[in-house]
Amino acid sequence: MFSSNRRSDRQDYEPLSTPATNGATVIARGVKVEGDFVSQGDVIIEGEVNGHVTTSGLLTIGTDAKLKAEISVNDAVIAGLVEGMVTVKKRLELKATAKILGDVTCETAAIEAGAILHGKCSIGQGKLDKESSKDQIAEKPFGEKLPAEKPGV
């Protein structure tokens, strides 16, 4: 009557991770983290974080995520709200739904139309020599016309 066809060693077990989250730490929607969050791998945030977020991997911030945090990561894709300084060693991608209230520093950036950034933005690690820059600007008066293009070039 209560017999079971249950197998003791389930071979059809599937891990919960998907290719998009494989190996990543996930802070799910409805979860709130306060304090310093440090990871060596990829991190996906769909919930709320107050504090500091540091990872040597990719940080993905979902559309409903809310962070009041200082962020220091290798790469980032941001689609939600971030209040605080954002430092990205390599590539920053801001989706159309992204809203950043704070300064941003990164090597390269891709910003979709509609993204909001209120703060200073520094892209690239190239250093400007202030004196040589001043000299180059002084050599060319404002409004000087560029050389005319040659036809067929």
Q: Which pLDDT belongs to residue 147?
A: 58
Count of CB atoms situated within 10 Å of the CB of 64:
15
Whether the CB-CB separation of 67 and 82 falls below 8 Å is answered with yes
Rounded to whole angstroms, how far apart are CA atoms 65 and 129?
Answer: 39
Per-residue 3-state assignment (H helix, E strand, C coil) for 92-141:
EEECCCCEEECCEEECEEEECCCCEEECCEEECCCCCCHHHHHHHHHHCC
The pLDDT assigned to 144 comes to 60
Q: CB under 8 Å to 111, separation ≥6 — which residues?
A: 93, 94, 117
pLDDT per residue of the chain (153 residues) written in tens, 0 to 9:
455 444 444 444 333 334 455 688 999 999 999 999 999 999 999 999 999 999 999 999 999 999 999 999 999 999 999 999 999 999 999 999 999 999 999 999 999 999 999 999 999 976 555 555 555 555 555 566 555 555 655
Residue 23 has what pLDDT? Answer: 80
Its pTM stands at 0.70
- Residue 136's φ and ψ, nearest 5 degrees, are -65, -40
The residues facing 101 across adjacent strands are 83, 118
pLDDT at 11: 42
